[in-house]
A = this chain, B = another copy of it.
Amino acid sequence: MSASKAITAAILVIGDEILSGRTKDKNIGYIADYLTNLGIDLSEVRIVPDVMEEIVAALDALRARYTYVFTTGGIGPTHDDITADAVAQAFGVELYEDERIINAMLERIKPEDLNEARRRMARVPLGGDLVPNPVNKIPGFRIGNVITMAGVPMIMQAMLDSVAPTLETGVKLTMHAIDAGLPEGQYATPLGDIAKAHEGLSIGSYPSYVDGAFRNQIIVRGRDPQEVAATVGEIETMLADLRAKLKG
């Protein structure tokens, strides 16, 4: 790991049920926080339906571009669970039935219940590694830079814990939040000037609307903690000057 190399990631959420609104995604925000804490930059997210060509096209676009691609959803036993097929197709490899997964299933079900549908969950793209989870014992997998996880949040989170120690991580971003205490329009121009002077930092202004009033936060993010601290100082001085001027 070098300090200058950014490690990037994308999330690919696979699921008609998210697009229809019936299920509300709980994974994107969780993975975003998780990756930020690892020093991995989440750079893009896509949500696509349970359609083979859509999944393969998104996989190919994202895996060519980012260090890691995390998929969620579509790895169960039913006909609409086609993520393993899509990953295998994207990598141009076959699926094999993993004996370890079959054995894990046989610890929980009777041999006569190991039907064709359940065997689908033991299929892994050739060359893939398993991503275990202690919750239901049926693992996700990783092939190349693509990590395929379950859509059920508790299982997805366990898989993320399993795969995290194997990931290359970057320098964790230093983040500092400033409560502006002023309308965005009052400080937007001087804040833009400060942002221009520190192009290596990410400086954003985020309004939220709480109890009928706007609350504006300025967020400064960067890999150099000293530059972040110095820039936060500049912004706080700028805001204090503005507040004094508006009072005067």
Residues on A lying within 8 angstroms of B by beta carbon are 13, 16-25, 28-36, 41-50, 54, 76-80, 109, 113, 115-118, 120-121, 135-136, 152-155, 173, 175, 177, 184-189, 191-192, 195-196, 202-209, 214, 219, 221
CA distance A34 to B20 in the complex (A): 9
Q: Which residues of B contact A207 (CB under 8 A)?
A: 76, 152
Given the contacts A189-B117, A195-B79, A21 and B29 also touching, CB distance less than 8 Å: yes
The 6 closest A-B pairs by CB, nearest first: A117-B188, A21-B32, A79-B192, A21-B33, A45-B47, A118-B185
Complex CA gap A173/B19 in Å reads 13
**Residue with the highest number of chain B CB atoms closer than 10 Å, among A19, A121, A186, A203:** A19
* Cβ contact within 8 Å between A202 and B16: yes
Q: Is the CB of B189 within 8 A of A115?
A: yes
Query: Helix, strand, loop or mixed for chain A's interface?
Result: mixed
Among B50, B191, B192, contact of A204 (Cβ-Cβ < 8 Å): B50
Residue of B nearest to A116 (CB): B189
Check A205 against B78 for contact (C-beta < 8 Å). yes
Q: How far is the CA of A22 from the CA of B219 in the complex (A)?
A: 10
Can you list 17 A-B pairs with a CB-CB distance of less than 8 A? A17-B206, A19-B32, A19-B42, A20-B36, A20-B175, A21-B30, A21-B34, A21-B42, A24-B29, A45-B47, A46-B46, A77-B185, A78-B184, A113-B185, A117-B184, A117-B187, A121-B185
Chain B residue at minimum C-beta to C-beta distance from A45: B47
Residues of B within 8 A of A78 (CB): 184, 188, 191-192, 204-205
Residue of B nearest to A205 (CB): B78
Nearest B residue to A22 via CB reads B219
CB-CB < 8 A to A205: which residues of B? 76, 78, 80
